[in-house]
Amino acid sequence: MSGWTSGPLGAPRAADTDRVRALRSASSPWAGLRVLVTGIAVSGFAAADALLEAGAEVVVVDARTGEGERDRGRLLEVLGARVLLGPEHVADAPGGWSGVDLVVTSPGWHPDAPLLVAAALAGVPVWGDVELAWRMRPATGAARWLTLTGTNGKTTTVEMTASILRAGGLRAAVAGNVGTPLLEAMRHPDAYEVLAVELSSFQLHWLSTDTEASLRPLASACLNVAPDHLDWHGSLDAYAGAKGRVYEGSGVACVYSLADARTERLVREADVQEGCRAVGTTRGVPPVGALGVVEDVLADRAFVAERRTSAAELATLADLSRDGGPVAPHTVDNALVAAALADEGGVAAVALRDGLRGFTPAPHRVAVVEQPGGVRWVDDSKATNAHAAAASLAAFDPVVWVAGGLAKGARFDDLVAAHARRLRAAVLIGRDRDELAAALARHAPDVPVVLVDPPQTGPVDALPDALMDAVVAHAAALARPGDTVLLAPACASMDQFTSYAHRGDAFAAAVRRRDAR
């Protein structure tokens, strides 16, 4: 590859910059474009693969040298990429590659990574995988995008949206931060009609500021904004600003929560297409232009022609219930947003009901594990921050709360103060459990608190199960008939588990082991 030599990251020629700006579809002139891809995990691999197929010259770098990275690297090399693994390829602050036309970064890479800083200083465009996928859409017949973000509830809501779209007979997929990688969805041999796209704050940060060429979804939504990932974004304002980019360029509707003033402000500040309108959602009776709830009916006063005088029934709360159990308030929120997005996707009213009725939540999201002896055991291990835990706690009363893990710099005073009256007891685990214990002492001093230490002996791979056995034993001793033992950790899991799914599986298995005895 001529021109691909290590050294200062030189600014591209003007003609190359113009060429990058002109990349608008899969039919654009990608061949010969010199692209540096940072990261070789799922999104980086997909980006490199798509670019190579389009004829670009690709160099991929990653600091990691594990087996997975090496395997993906060998495959990309067979396809024609140059792959460089190891910290020496990403750590040199003024380093980079001369003659680069475009940098495509994996979403987790922080903006202060040396290569990305060097690219920005040299005027080289830096895109994320979402920007690349949008620019590589087919020139004709491309899938319509319904985009969604939020601190909590994203995955459930995009999956609900896709369920409604499929019930309406559309070929639809969940893509983006979950589901099918966007670049794979763009290249699927049996083209999708609509994509329900989940976007993280990291992915949104890396969208291009070229509003004419960048992402222009049919409709978009931000479920909520609460403190999270502040270590990455630097401040709540910066994090909210990234979330707000989901609305940029929207064509028909921007969906927001009437109960969250921040999401409404993000809509007001967004640069959208002519004719795009704001659509609110509420758990209460909806005003004109919104979706909400009238008694036990999900009602639409946004999309019906007679919205000033009447509302259309979308579904009932019973349609959202699983096994006849209670419907969590945040499930109602998610369903209303999914209905609003899917309506813009072009489905009939009956599909809204059937899609919601047939939707099955993914594991570890307010999932009832067992109900022995009149005690309900619920796994909401996906509640990895205070905002998500608050939504989960709001659905049950009384609660023996199982919480703790990696706090990511969060505070828990507001969470505990708001739900103290629901708590029968708390069982705390994890590295940052003392933060939770202190908040409980301040705002719920009468609530019994048990701190569970990890086992000190035994096989390493058995320690998570042994920890959860102890947690379940303590929770069972504290719970009374009619109580809910709720795993809603308000923290990340990686201090003691490999993932939130591993944590939830360990909890459910410990509950079942105890019930079997």
Binding residue numbers: 150-156
Q: In what order do the strands lie in the sheet containing 219-222?
A: 172-176, 194-198, 144-149, 219-222, 253-257, 277-281, 290-294, 297-300, 312-316
What CA–CA distance (Å, rounded) separates 265 from 247?
11
Quick one: DSSP state of residue 206? T
- Report the C-alpha dihedral over residues 179, 162, 302, 296, rounded to 10 degrees: -110
Please tell me the number of Cα atoms within 13 Å of 55 on its side-chain side. Answer: 7
Neighbours of 401 (CB within 10 A): 33
CA 140 to chain centre: 29
DSSP-assigned letters across all residues of 228-281: --HHHHSSHHHHHHHHHGGGTT-SSEEEEETT-HHHHHHHHH----TT-EEEEE
* CB distance 194 to 143 below 8 Å: yes
For residues 313, 315, 317 and 322, what is the CA-based torsion angle, rounded to 10 degrees?
180
Give the angle 437-383-315 at the CA atoms, nearest 5°.
Answer: 135
Residues making up the binding site for ATP: 150-156
* HEC readout, 62-116: ECCCCHHHHHHHHHHHHHCCEEEECHHHCCCCCCCECCCCEEEECCCCCCCCHHH
| DSSP classification of residue 502 | H
User: Strand 423-428 to strand 399-403: parallel, antiparallel, or no bridges (unpaired)?
Assistant: parallel
**Angle between the 349-357 and 329-345 helix axes, to the nearest 10 degrees?**
140
Q: Give the Å distances, CA to CA, from 189 to 50, 180, 238, 453, 469.
A: 14, 14, 38, 51, 47
CB 185 within 8 A of CB 173: yes
Reduced to 3 states (helix: H, G, I; strand: E, B; else coil), residue 496 is coil
